[in-house]
Amino acid sequence: MSLSFDGSTVFKLSRYISVRFKHQKTVIYVKEEPFIACKYLFMNAPSIKSTMSFDSIDQMSESLNGQLEREITREEVGLSPEDEFWGHCSNLQVWVENDYDTRLLHRNLAFPLLKRLSSVGDIKAKKIFSQEAAKRFKSRSPTVQKFLVLGKHLARLRRSILRDLIDYADDIEVLELLSAHFNGKNDFSNNMKVLKRLLWINPIHRKAHLVLAFVYLKLGNLVKAKIVLKELLKLYPKDDEALQFLAQVYWFEEKVEKAKAFVKELNNASDRFVGRKEFAELKSYKFSFRVPEDIFRLVKHRHGWYFDFP
């Protein structure tokens, strides 16, 4: 339904969502508050018949090398601003009528909009948000998976569900991001599964060995921590980080001479160790004791801190 309101055209999709055309611009409103201005419309999509094999708008975009996301001017296709407005309204109406199926909109709009609807009290949005996030992660699209992790759209999922989703991650960068996510949640069990899968895909991944060794160390399993570090040293015999980390483990075992022997092999010798008692008092998995602070570099990302994987 459309109506005139203060010189603008309003298309109301539900009690929560409306689309307004004002000053030649299309803006989506949530609970009468502006949410986002629509920058472009998927105007160069192929015919419906040719899209039947695609599972989602995102998959279609990837298959067409991102052509759907190119910002085409209205002049190129002969559309007026009003035509573009009604195109956006039509896309959103289909999305609403299909119970917020995120495959029908681009991920950059579908998930933030669904998240906003959840926060303003839309019961349907709250109910399906987690279901949609899990369903889309299972698509195995690295682009979608990275978006979901970095956007923290998996935060509401239970640990058991997240554990199942790990099996659908085949991309190294996605697994690295998942490791950082579980690190922030102090979820050692899931992080361990992620790291083992990462090493199965890329057996020579240095940082994955180091992070896995730290997880074992944090859990008090010194034997497995040493096994992982020794495996790393077989791959990289002169790796200073692995040597220093292994020296710390031997220090924990009170094998002082052996610890110092490893330190002597380092290019930049250091005998700075932290004791077992101090280690046991650490509340969170943040690589916050002194030796591993030198080993792992934290990088600031717009979504928070994460570990620098080379």
Q: List, in order of start, the domains of the chain with CATH numbers.
A: 158-310 (1.25.40.10)
For residues 1 and 85, give the distance between their C-alpha atoms in angstroms, rounded to a whole number: 13
Mind listing the pLDDT tens digit of every residue in the chain (310 residues)?
444 445 568 899 999 999 998 888 888 999 989 887 766 555 434 333 444 456 777 777 666 554 544 555 555 656 777 888 888 888 899 999 999 999 988 888 899 999 999 999 999 999 999 999 999 999 999 999 999 998 899 988 999 999 999 999 999 999 999 998 888 788 889 999 999 999 999 999 988 998 899 889 888 899 999 999 999 999 998 888 888 888 888 888 888 888 888 777 765 555 566 666 655 554 433 332 233 333 334 334 443 333 333 3
The two three-digit tokens of residue 122, written as one number = 């839309």
By the 10 Å C-beta count (0-12 exposed, 13-18 middle, 19+ buried), 215 is classed as: buried
Stated as kind and residue range, the H or E segment containing 30 is strand 25-30
Specify the pLDDT at position 105. Answer: 87
Specify the pLDDT at position 35. Answer: 87
Angle at 210 between CA 180 and CA 203, to 5 degrees: 95
Cβ neighbours for 35, distance < 8 A, ≥ 6 positions apart: 27, 28, 29, 113, 116
Residue 140 identity? R
Specify the pLDDT at position 270. Answer: 52
Specify the pLDDT at position 52. Answer: 45
Q: Which of 163, 167, 245, 173 is nearest to 202 (CA)?
A: 173
The two three-digit tokens of residue 213, written as one number = 């060794």
Number of other residues whose CB lies within 10 A of the CB of residue 11 = 20
Residue 30 identity? V
- The region, left, alpha or beta by phi > 0 then psi within -120 to 50, assigned to residue 106 is beta
